[in-house]
Amino acid sequence: MTAVVDPEARVLRRTRRTIAGQIAVVITLVVLAAGGISYWVLLSGQHDEVDRTLNTTLARGLSVTPPGCVYLVTPAGHAPSGPLPFAVPPPAPVPHDGDVVTQELSLGGGTYTMRTVNRGGQVSQVFMDEYYLIADREQLVLGLAVAELAVLLVAVLSGYLLAGRAIRPLGEALRRQRTFVADASHELRAPLTRLHTRTQLMARRAQGSASSPVSPQDLDALVDGTRELGEVVDDLLLSAQAACDRPSLQPVELGLLAEQAVAAEAVRAGDRRVRICVHRSPGLADVVPGVPTALRRVLSALLDNAIGHTPPGGSIEVSLANPDDRHVELRVQDTGTGFAQRDAERLFERFAHGTNGEGRRFGLGLALVHEVVTGHGGTIAAAGAPGVGATFTLRFTRAAQ
């Protein structure tokens, strides 16, 4: 039996690893920068020390024994006395008085810095063995590498622990949110089920009684409304289950959903004296992969906003067309109060608020609409102007034929 993995726990673990990795990267870069600066300071100091030693040895000449690892060769002899540890190479060309040439050479299996100088026609050479300088640099690099590895391990461990403490409140908030949705869904399910059952009973009685003051059509609409409310609660409950799978998509005819949504809002639009209609382009292919209940609520939310922002005498048109061979485009256009186009960027943000109309053009509704549309792989765009109206354009990929 396969164990069910909590998606929220998986997200939190991934977030924790991401934070720990980012902390480790930052600390690693800081240590690398510090190591690079240390290496540059050491190298610069060594170059200065080599330069001073060579100049001092040349200035003193054979009268003073050079410091260790330094050898002076002149036409009059060399110092220190005794055999040199390397074969003296030909002097670099320094034809003019005062010419100085500095080179780095490999001599006798070692690395030397050689400086050749012409002083009054006398060419002198001074050599400095870099063995200990190179050893110092290698030890510094080794120490930096060990320190970098140790710091990296400490950074990963401490970052993981600190990230766990940082996201613990987030995990608790998600758990409480899931619990709240689950509790609310369970509490709403029972009364809605009773309401739906009683409405169905009233509809059956009205169909069998000619003297009923309530028309069967109105009761059928009420039954549909309670059914939709039940579907909303079921979706809330499903979303609260951390281990639930993504809903399976099925072919959905957008035009039919649009007609049903318009029919459901016809009474309200009539009370407000707002004309509402659906227009399908000729030869429309409007089947898309989706979740019918979710797409139905998208249309309901858009129509609710349009009706709430359209004054008496206005109109709302839902149009469907195929902009190309791969997509279906649905537009909800009204002649209402509209909105400033600069607000289009934040229109789908949660809990943003508008200033005109009675609908929820700015608020949680359109934020959820955006989530549903993008969750179906579609796009949604808003265009409008104050006093002119608004147009919401949804585009979905057509279902494979």
**Considering its fold, how many domains does the chain have in total?**
1
Work out the average pLDDT over 332-345.
87
Q: How confident is the model at residue 102 (pLDDT cuts 50, 70, 90)?
A: very high
Output 349 or 330, whichever has higher pLDDT. Answer: 330
What percentage of residues in the chain have a pLDDT greater than 70?
78
Is the pLDDT reported for residue 388 higher than 60? Answer: yes
Lowest mean pLDDT among 170-174, 316-320, 329-333: 170-174
Whether 262 is in a domain gets the answer yes
Q: Which strands make up the sheet holding 315-321, listed edge to edge?
A: 275-280, 315-321, 327-334, 389-397, 379-385
Whether 168 is in a domain gets the answer no
At 244 the pLDDT is 45
Residue with tokens 């309200």: 268
Q: How confident is the model at residue 2 (pLDDT cuts 50, 70, 90)?
A: very low
At 321 the pLDDT is 94
Whether 271 is in a domain gets the answer yes
| pLDDT tens string 54-70 | 999 988 888 888 988 89
Whether 67 is in a domain gets the answer no
| pLDDT tens string 266-311 | 888 888 899 999 999 998 999 999 988 889 888 988 998 898 889 9
What domain range is 328 assigned to?
A: 250-397
Whether 83 is in a domain gets the answer no
Output 244 or 384, whichever has higher pLDDT. Answer: 384
At 278 the pLDDT is 94
Output 365 or 137, whichever has higher pLDDT. Answer: 137
Whether 355 is in a domain gets the answer yes
Check which CATH number belongs to the domain holding 327 and give it: 3.30.565.10
Whether 254 is in a domain gets the answer yes
Q: For residue 286, which of 317, 247, 326 has the smallest C-alpha distance?
A: 326
- Residue 155 contacts by C-beta under 8 Å, 6 or more apart in sequence? 23, 24, 27, 28
Output 89 or 172, whichever has higher pLDDT. Answer: 89
Work out the average pLDDT over 230-255.
65
Residue spans of alpha helices (H) in 208-285: 216-240, 254-271
| pLDDT tens string 184-215 | 665 566 566 666 666 777 777 667 666 656 66
Q: How confident is the model at residue 115 (pLDDT cuts 50, 70, 90)?
A: very high
Q: What is the amino acid identity at position 181?
A: V
Average pLDDT, the chain: 81
Distance CA 60, CA 357 (A): 96
Work out the average pLDDT over 81-91.
87
Q: How many residues does the chain have?
A: 401
Whether 331 is in a domain gets the answer yes
At 170 the pLDDT is 75
